[in-house]
Amino acid sequence: MTLFAQQFVNGIALGSVYALVALGLTLVYGVLKVPNFAHGALYMAGAYVVYVMLTAVGGSYALAIAVAVVVIAVMGAAMEFVVFRRLEGKSSVHAMIAALGVLFFLEGTADVIWGPDFRPVPTPLDGVVTAFGINITEQRILVIVAAIVAMAGLYFLLKRTLVGMSIEAMAQDREGALLVGIDTRRVALITFAISGALAAIAGALIAPLVLVFPTMGAVIILKAFVIVILGGMGSVPGAILGGYLLALAETMAGTYVAFAFSELIAFALLVLVLVFRPTGLFQKGV
């Protein structure tokens, strides 16, 4: 029972990161209608910003996270402004190929700057909290809490602000949004910035728990795709729920079945969902 509780908490921490990455992906899918293959690179870039802040620049971990959020949000917006804006109205294949171009540009740039080595990030919160017989590192508690705060912030933004409502309107019907006077280009720009900020938070939170390297986004982006397909492309609650569920499934399979098996769960789920229900489990009737 203790083992289960322990792994449950670990799964929730991992799920927080998955959910944050998947949220950014699903938001951009909503407005662009194209899977952003470069999204994992934003997550990677966020982790590198924290690495640079904590090893070279100095300052607190909170400052490092804030800088990462701002830098990657600008990067996300630049991606929309420089690349995807120019592909409006062209076939989705073009936008997908352009996204791959962005992905390899960002990975290649990180590789040129920092090399392919795996780099450890100093752990700012190295304490361990023990409660009910389970040990949780402070960093994992921060991951769980910060993710919930970020999601609450996103929810507030989407439901209570004009910008957020414009994003939802555009995701539902681009032309309709244009007709009622929404500046769709501005909304697309903001959506990419938010998506970048979410990826940066995920990368910044995970950085002290893992090693940072140029292709670190490759695995998580695939999982984020699985989550987003599972939850329905463009669905915000689907991305959150899917993120926690996939992480819990992986953690439990790794604990009770075999570690190698946990890696295959995402792929197995993807195959099953696409074969039996390609529109996702929670797809709204849009």
Partner 1 sequence: MGSAHVRRAVALGVPLVLAILFPLLVNNPYLVSVAVSAYVTAIAVYGLNVMLGYTGQLSLAHAGFYGIGGYTVGILTSDYGFSFWLALPIALAFTSLLGHLIGLAALRTRHDYFAIFTLAVGVMIVIVIERWESLTGGTDGLIGIPAPGSIGPLSFTSLNSQYYLALAFLVFTIYVVWSLMHSLVGRTFLAVRNSEELARAVGIDAGRTHQLSFVISAALAALGGGLYAAFSGSIGPDVGDVPMTFNMLVYLMIGGVASLPGPLVGTILIMGLMQALQAFQEYTLMILGPILILVVVFFPGGLAGQGKVLFERLTRREADQ
For binding to partner 1 (CB under 8 A), which residues are involved? 33-35, 37, 83, 86-87, 90-94, 96-98, 100-109, 111-112, 218, 222, 225-226, 229, 233, 260, 263, 267, 270-271, 274-275, 278
Rounded distance between C-alpha atoms, residue 116 and residue 188, angstroms: 33
Tokens 């023990």 belong to 130
Closest approach of Cβ 87 to partner 1, in Å? 6
CB of 98 to partner 1, least distance (A): 5
Place of tokens 């670990």: 10
Nearer to partner 1, 90 or 284 (CB): 90
Contact between 195 and 189 (Cβ < 8 Å): no
Least Å from the CB of residue 82 to partner 1 = 8
Judged by beta carbon, residue 71 or residue 79, the one nearer partner 1 is: 79
Q: How many residues does the chain have?
A: 286
Both structure tokens of 27: 């938001």
Q: Considering the complex, what minimum distance in angstroms separates the CB of residue 276 from partner 1?
A: 9
CA dihedral of 265, 270, 271, 277, whole degrees rounded to 10: 130
Least distance CB 222 / partner 1 (angstroms)? 6
By beta-carbon proximity to partner 1, the closer residue of 61 and 225 is: 225
User: Closer to partner 1 at the Cβ: 39 or 140?
Assistant: 39
| Closer Cβ to partner 1, 222 or 281, answer by number | 222
Half-sphere exposure of 174 (CA within 13 A, CB side): 13
Task: Report CA torsion sign: 167, 158, 73, 151.
Answer: negative
Q: What are phi and psi of 132, to 5 degrees?
A: 50, 35
